[in-house]
Amino acid sequence: MDLETITEYRPAPGAAWQPGDAWLGGGTWLFSEPQPGLRRLLDLRGFGWAPLTESRGGLEIAATCTIAELARWRPGGPAAVAWATVPLLRQCCDALLASFKVQNMATVGGNICLALPAGAMTSLAAALDGVTTLWSPGGGVREVPVIGFVTGPGTTVLRPGELLRSVTLPDASLRGRTAFRQASLSRLGRSAALVIGRTDGPGLVITVTAATPRPVQFRFAARPSPDEATAALDRAGLDRAGLDGAGLDGAGLDGGHLTWHDDVHGAPAWRAAMTRRFVAEVAAELRE
């Protein structure tokens, strides 16, 4: 793709952001279609951030970490035993059904900032209670939980010129057991429904993505039965009050309602049915 409006490409460090600029991650989306509003590309790889950094607090994933690097990564030291969720990283990387060329170039940050409902890195980071670190052009830093970062298809909380520096997955989340379910209309199609369950002490966290315009999360204080888990989903389809009445927290519900995404990758009713089935399955799997 020739990007005819681009007049300058430069490393991001030291570049003062201005309207018409875009942060360049792996470029797999930026170079895939015309970008008439853009003038400059600011390449984030110039920062030279370490892709993955383990600490006692958790795992920091740099925005420039590629999907391939994340898929290959294994923890060392005590985390190698304690972080039971590590297979989920690979499952989510595989859910992004791209060629090896895209897998090797696309970045975790680019996938999250693109804010596609099928964004598998958003699914992963939201399910593990990840927290984004955002840098503003004026030098400010703020943190936003991933569950609230994506606000709809293609929209995020990023302000003009702000960039995603990293996502941190907390140690406590990485210790949980997880269950993963994903469906696409075709064998190599984009995710149309993706549900991740994660044990959280005696409780359970269920995160729904791909089927909904933005990530939606249900937190249960105790492990629900499959019927109890789907009942939470059904209540969310009715109204916010239904969730509050049941003592459930349903983050990401637009206007208090659960809505279903509608595009060529799946009809809303099918996405809803698959999600309901997957919610029951992950609840059953993690109840044992």
Ligand X SMILES: Cc1cc2nc3c(=O)[nH]c(=O)nc-3n(C[C@H](O)[C@H](O)[C@H](O)COP(=O)(O)OP(=O)(O)OC[C@H]3O[C@@H](n4cnc5c(N)ncnc54)[C@H](O)[C@@H]3O)c2cc1C
Among 52, 79, 113, 233, binds ligand X (CB under 6 A): 113
Q: Which of 104, 106, 131, 118 is nearest to 208 (CA)?
A: 118
> Closest Cα to residue 89, out of 64, 112, 123, 55?
123
Residue 91 touching ligand X (CB under 6 A): no
Which residues, other chains included, contact 24 with Cβ-Cβ below 8 Å and sequence gap of 6+? 9, 12, 30, 41, 42, 43, 44, 45
- Number of chain positions touching ligand X (CB under 6 A): 33
| Smallest distance, ligand X to C-beta of residue 204, A | 25
**Beta carbon of residue 58, minimum distance to ligand X (angstroms, whole number):** 19
Task: Name residues contacting ligand X, limited to 18-37 (CB under 6 A).
Answer: 22-30, 32
Closest distance of CB 122 from ligand X, Å: 8
Pairing of strands 21-24, 52-55: unpaired
Q: Which of 287, 56, 55, 52 is nearest to 177 (CA)?
A: 287
The DSSP secondary-structure symbol of 264 reads: T
CA angle 50/56/61 to nearest 5° reads: 30
Give 1 or 221: the residue with its C-beta nearer to ligand X.
Answer: 1
Q: Choose which of 52, 126, 146, 164 interacts with ligand X (CB under 6 A).
A: 164
Candidate ranges 118-126, 173-181, 222-230, 239-247; the one touching ligand X (CB under 6 A): 118-126
Residue numbers at the binding site for ligand X (CB under 6 A): 22-30, 32, 44, 63, 96-99, 102, 105-107, 109-111, 113-114, 116, 118-120, 158, 163-164, 190
